[in-house]
Structure 1
Amino acid sequence: MQDNAVAAGEADRACLIGPYAGRHGIPAISALCDPWRLAEQADRIVAAADHDLAAVGLLLGRPVELLGEGPWAGATSAAEVATRAVAGWDLRDPFTGEPIDPAGAIALLAEWRRLIDANRRIAAVYGVAAWKRVTVDALLWDGRDGPRHARPSDRRTRSLISGSRVIAWKSRTAPDLPAGLAARGIAVGEIEDGFIRSIGLGANCVPPLSIIVDHAGVYFDPAGPSDLEHLLAEADIGADLQRRAAALRQRLVAAGIGKYGRASAPVAIAAPGRRRVLVPGQVADDRSVLSGGAGGGNLELLQRARSLEPDAWIIYRPHPDVEAGHRAGHIAEPVIRQWADEIDRDSPIAPLIDSVDALHTLTSLAGFEALMRGKAVTTHGVPFYAGWGLTRDLGAIPDRRGRQRSLDELVAATLILYPRYLDPVTRLPCSPEILVDRLESDRARVGSSLVMLRELQGRATRLWRRFGGQA
């Protein structure tokens, strides 16, 4: 069967389905045409009773004339089509294999459809490393030939027209590309790692299991708005979504799940009678520090924390990417000891946060994780979670913020509404809860020979630091 359309007047547009291509002057429509949007534009649909467009038209409430025999013969309403569509089917959840009711299946398919529709508006993708595409591409698929990876000077880039929309992993993209595209009237959004990312470090080339795609800006740059900031400032986050966020938050805390995996072993901190304060280091040239760190670095943060907490037991935790030997931000141990009582290089961040009373940070995601665990958080920069009434903020908060949000509203926007998640087992887009299931059951590992090589390289760098006198 082939899709065809009758070129009728505005008062009587029809979509005619059947083996009539090339007859009666009827133009053919590509098989890639979206039947829902095609049917939405039709005043009348004439279709074979076994054609999917007949069902689509009835579901949309369009006048439909059915020809011949088929599953939709005699159907006259959306309810009748819906009943026939699910009759006799054994519906299963693709992630768990358990039975799923029709409403749940439709909700899942609708979510996938929204993702595909969003991706169809992306004309090109820049800066996604090949090792990340093994997971990222599934979250950017447009139902056809996308994602359309491009380079600054290739034919796809040259052919972009004004009004096109692209996304870029800007830290891995030529610095002049976004400005050059913007000058041509092309909207440049951003793609970045999500907040529940993987088992293992991105610096070790472990591909992400969640990403964010932000067409307004990016969440960690307070210089301009972002889609996340818009959600927090404007979205109506209702009671059902808040309850879902609370349940997700409680699961993450109970399982010790953070950005880079799961760890639940408690951390012993010997500081009897003293307030315990965690200061997490960050990557010095990370864009979140450069854009939202208020001009400070790890040493300045440590010094400020000591100034504000003179009697506290301060624990400094170097960033894992820095400790792995891949990124900037290293502070020699004798310097750290001038300001911190303890250095914790090995403990996973989640149980370490559980073991302290408070946290000081520039822009680290650890501050958000501390909020989820009920800890007092002081921000010295301007992270995305500052300015909503949940933190003590020492940085210059943009006037765009200021709305009071509850913790579960913050969690709902940050972990449910904003990111995209991939199930590492089925490689299908999923909810955050499914990814948490995989993390809890240790089924979220995505490894490769490149990961092993990067881990070995990091070990060599750490040994060089230790024995080269830079510890």
Structure 2
Amino acid sequence: MSLPVAGAAILRAPPFPGIAVEVSSPSAKPGACLDAAALFQAVREARVGGRFWADPADLARPVKVVLRPRDRQEVASLSRKGALWILPCPKAHSGRAERARWARALAGEQWRFDVDPWSVLPGAGLLVAHGDDEWIVLARAARVAVEVLSEGRFGAPGDDGEALDRRAATALAQAHWRDPFTGAASSLDAVVDILAMWRASLDANRAIVAACGMAWWKRAEIRRFLWHPERPLALVSSPARALRIARRTGGAVAIWPSRVSTALVEAARAQGVPLVRVEDGFVRSVGLGVDLVPPSSVVVDRAGIHFDPSRESDLEALLESAPMSQRLLARAGALRDAIVAAGISKYAADTGEGGMAVRDPARRLVLVTGQVGDDMSVLAAGGDLVHEPGGPNLALLRRARALEPAAEIWFRPHPDVDAGHRKGAVPDSEALAFADRVVRGGGMAPLLAKVDAVHVLSSLAGFEALLRGREVTCHGTPFYAGWGLTRDLGDVPARRTRRLTLDQLVAGVLILYPRYLDPVTGLPCPPEVLVGRMAGAAATNRLSWIAPLRRWQGKLMNALR
């Protein structure tokens, strides 16, 4: 039997707004791998192929037979008792008149317009379709029997399972694979990984119908992070309006925790509206948020938020129980090496030391990192240091000196505080009562490379220090405390029982939990792409004109204080 020549790609990208995305193109030559079992497993586990971003069928129970008519004339010949009818080409059937015609043709039958194939096929006993229907390929990947009605690319009447598998494997492998971020040649495995990442984000976004509390300068990126092709997203300023939209549609509201009131949280709870918390990611951008540099990474948390240890977050659940394969851990190790080699921290890629002070080689060097005094992570995870005289930063310095009496201690004020935009300043004269030096300027990465240990309240600098093999003492309860990698002086939730390796922590914190945007293409991307852009200085800021104004504003505020 001659195998079909591939036509339209089975594995394709969602229709991202304003971006032409191609991950594969047809080829007349078979791919290097025609191992049907391996191809099918990859597609099945990722649940990609076809219009996987379409709405799910929302079935009360799995169906035994799935029918895919080509047109209404085919309905009579396809009748099966208790079957589910799936009607293709949703755009062609969007009008009321066409819907009514299909309803008359399928009176008394269970039917849906085109849906996510993976909401139907797993658990089905049989797919009945014409030979050109791409669902045949997905059905074979899902281990579903197929009855073919007419000759086509993917099957012919009378084809047995082996013949259908050969056709399906060829349809998957017979393509040129492309990296959507560079346009370079890629592999089927890499494309499946990217599609799986996009699917996970879209599945999580599907229920989010409104967003509230998003700063104006972040909104373009937030729209991309929370986009779903099957529903609009209302970015609103009014909490009451956001809740109304969510109640009307049965959806959720995304919020930026520091920019919404407790009244919104309480109203959402009273009205039964789910809240999804959105925050900056851990490898965020080249440039500070205080300078209005939009984020290239965020976290989207349905359970809580990573910086608040009072309740479980999605990150904590991942770190506690997510399975972590050797492939994932190898990826985490390579990502960690890339971040360290490029000198990347949350806001920068910097390997130079510039005018950094010279340490005393005869003494242990300890870095104490200042934070924004009223930052939500400080208030939520700072413990009793938040209320000590002089504020949490001075209290942290005082405790660090008590624990490290012989060490050389460097204190680094938070750059937002130093810039005059946020609270938490410690006068140098008071800091030097406990520290040997106040260090400013330069990147965090070269500073961490110089020290032996770090003391933090809840700062991300502690996690960045772990990436570089430094000792970390946590005086509060940051998200990376309590997993066996830090000295913990704060109250660690009893929920955190798993002992993690560093690469397991990295896998959860930098790969599984956040979302990333490629600053060049605008596409959702894996962390390796953003890290590569930052290392190569390809990360861009569409609001770069604002940064000088913000720096001038900070200087004025400092002078007024």
Q: Normalising by the residue count of structure 2, what TM-score does the alignment of the two structures yield?
A: 0.76
Whether 2:165 is the aligned partner of 1:79: answer yes
Within the candidate set 485, 491, 494, 1:396 is matched to 491
Could you tell me how far apart the structure 2 residues matched to 1:419 and 1:460 are? 31
Match of 2:20 in 1: none
Whether 2:319 is the aligned partner of 1:226: answer no
Match of 2:291 in 1: 204
Q: Tell me if the contact between 2:129 and 2:149 (Cα under 8 Å) persists in the aligned partners.
A: yes
Is 336-345 or 14-23 further displaced after alignment?
A: 14-23
Q: Tell me if the contact between 1:264 and 1:350 (Cα under 8 Å) persists in the aligned partners.
A: yes
Whether 2:119 is the aligned partner of 1:37: answer yes
Could you tell me how far apart the structure 1 residues matched to 2:80 and 2:234 are? 37
Q: Tell me if the contact between 1:15 and 1:42 (Cα under 8 Å) persists in the aligned partners.
A: no
Whether 2:382 is the aligned partner of 1:285: answer no
Aligned residues: 466
Is 367-376 or 150-159 further displaced after alignment?
A: 150-159
Match of 2:227 in 1: 141
Match of 2:435 in 1: 340
Whether 2:551 is the aligned partner of 1:458: answer yes
1:120, CA displacement in angstroms?
A: 0.7
Identity, % of aligned pairs?
42
Could you tell me how far apart the structure 2 residues matched to 1:453 and 1:422 are? 21
Could you tell me how far apart the structure 2 residues matched to 1:312 and 1:158 are? 57
Is 97-106 or 358-367 further displaced after alignment?
A: 97-106
1:311, CA displacement in angstroms?
A: 2.2
CA change 1:312–1:10 in 2 (3 A) is farther
1:161, CA displacement in angstroms?
A: 6.1
Match of 1:320 in 2: 415
Could you tell me how far apart the structure 1 residues matched to 2:179 and 2:456 are? 41
Alignment of 1:358-377 (within 5 A): 358-377=453-472
Q: Tell me if the contact between 2:86 and 2:115 (Cα under 8 Å) persists in the aligned partners.
A: no
- The CA deviation string for residues 297-346 of structure 1, in whole angstroms up to 9 with x for no partner, is 11111111122222222111111111222211112222222222111120
Could you tell me how far apart the structure 2 residues matched to 1:374 and 1:17 are? 54
- For residue 425 of structure 1, what is the amino acid of its counterpart? V
1:192, CA displacement in angstroms?
A: 0.6
CA change 1:411–1:11 in 2 (3 A) is same
Could you tell me how far apart the structure 2 residues matched to 1:153 and 1:137 are? 20
Q: Tell me if the contact between 1:164 and 1:185 (Cα under 8 Å) persists in the aligned partners.
A: no
1:16, CA displacement in angstroms?
A: 5.9
Q: Tell me if the contact between 1:44 and 1:64 (Cα under 8 Å) persists in the aligned partners.
A: yes
- For residue 459 of structure 1, what is the amino acid of its counterpart? W
1:394, CA displacement in angstroms?
A: 1.2
Q: Tell me if the contact between 2:246 and 2:252 (Cα under 8 Å) persists in the aligned partners.
A: no
Q: Normalising by the residue count of structure 1, what TM-score does the alignment of the two structures yield?
A: 0.89
Whether 2:106 is the aligned partner of 1:26: answer yes
CA change 1:29–1:139 in 2 (3 A) is farther
- The CA deviation string for residues 81-132 of structure 1, in whole angstroms up to 9 with x for no partner, is 4334246532211123221222322232122122211211223322222321
Q: Tell me if the contact between 1:242 and 1:412 (Cα under 8 Å) persists in the aligned partners.
A: yes
Could you tell me how far apart the structure 2 residues matched to 1:62 and 1:54 are? 9
The unaligned stretches of length 5 or more in structure 1 are: none
Is 65-74 or 435-444 further displaced after alignment?
A: 65-74
Whether 2:207 is the aligned partner of 1:121: answer yes
Q: Tell me if the contact between 2:209 and 2:231 (Cα under 8 Å) persists in the aligned partners.
A: no
Could you tell me how far apart the structure 2 residues matched to 1:460 and 1:127 are? 23
- The CA deviation string for residues 115-165 of structure 1, in whole angstroms up to 9 with x for no partner, is 211211223322222321222322212222343434312276255169743
Q: Tell me if the contact between 1:15 and 1:39 (Cα under 8 Å) persists in the aligned partners.
A: no
- For residue 228 of structure 1, what is the amino acid of its counterpart? L
Whether 2:484 is the aligned partner of 1:428: answer no
Secondary structure of 1:452's aligned partner:
coil
Within the candidate set 126, 130, 134, 2:216 is matched to 130
Could you tell me how far apart the structure 2 residues matched to 1:368 and 1:98 are? 33
CA change 1:183–1:392 in 2 (3 A) is same
Match of 1:244 in 2: 331
CA change 1:164–1:441 in 2 (3 A) is same
Within the candidate set 167, 172, 175, 1:89 is matched to 175
Could you tell me how far apart the structure 2 residues matched to 1:149 and 1:253 are? 37
Could you tell me how far apart the structure 1 residues matched to 2:246 and 2:531 are? 41
Could you tell me how far apart the structure 2 residues matched to 1:284 and 1:292 are? 12
Q: Tell me if the contact between 2:88 and 2:114 (Cα under 8 Å) persists in the aligned partners.
A: no
Whether 2:344 is the aligned partner of 1:262: answer no
Is 242-251 or 220-229 further displaced after alignment?
A: 242-251
Q: Aligned Cα RMSD in Å? A: 2.9
Could you tell me how far apart the structure 2 residues matched to 1:452 and 1:16 are? 50
Whether 2:360 is the aligned partner of 1:271: answer yes
Could you tell me how far apart the structure 2 residues matched to 1:375 and 1:87 are? 46
Q: Tell me if the contact between 2:210 and 2:242 (Cα under 8 Å) persists in the aligned partners.
A: no
Could you tell me how far apart the structure 2 residues matched to 1:272 and 1:59 are? 61
Could you tell me how far apart the structure 2 residues matched to 1:322 and 1:384 are? 22
Alignment of 1:303-318 (within 5 A): 303-318=398-413
Q: Tell me if the contact between 1:325 and 1:459 (Cα under 8 Å) persists in the aligned partners.
A: no
Secondary structure of 2:177's aligned partner:
coil
Q: Tell me if the contact between 1:198 and 1:208 (Cα under 8 Å) persists in the aligned partners.
A: yes
- For residue 112 of structure 1, what is the amino acid of its counterpart? W
CA change 1:259–1:119 in 2 (3 A) is same
1:175, CA displacement in angstroms?
A: 2.5
The unaligned stretches of length 5 or more in structure 2 are: 1-69, 386-391
Q: Tell me if the contact between 1:12 and 1:44 (Cα under 8 Å) persists in the aligned partners.
A: no
1:204, CA displacement in angstroms?
A: 1.1
Is 262-271 or 410-419 further displaced after alignment?
A: 262-271
1:184, CA displacement in angstroms?
A: 1.8
Q: Tell me if the contact between 2:382 and 2:475 (Cα under 8 Å) persists in the aligned partners.
A: yes
Could you tell me how far apart the structure 1 residues matched to 2:541 and 2:328 are? 30
Is 10-19 or 139-148 further displaced after alignment?
A: 10-19
- For residue 225 of structure 2, what is the amino acid of its counterpart? L
Could you tell me how far apart the structure 2 residues matched to 1:453 and 1:69 are? 61
Q: Tell me if the contact between 1:132 and 1:207 (Cα under 8 Å) persists in the aligned partners.
A: yes
CA change 1:269–1:32 in 2 (3 A) is farther
Match of 1:174 in 2: 261
Q: Tell me if the contact between 1:162 and 1:184 (Cα under 8 Å) persists in the aligned partners.
A: no
- For residue 241 of structure 1, what is the amino acid of its counterpart? L
Q: Tell me if the contact between 1:228 and 1:413 (Cα under 8 Å) persists in the aligned partners.
A: yes
Is 28-37 or 162-171 further displaced after alignment?
A: 28-37
Secondary structure of 1:149's aligned partner:
strand
1:58, CA displacement in angstroms?
A: 4.6
Could you tell me how far apart the structure 2 residues matched to 1:245 and 1:103 are? 18
CA change 1:40–1:396 in 2 (3 A) is closer
CA change 1:327–1:2 in 2 (3 A) is farther
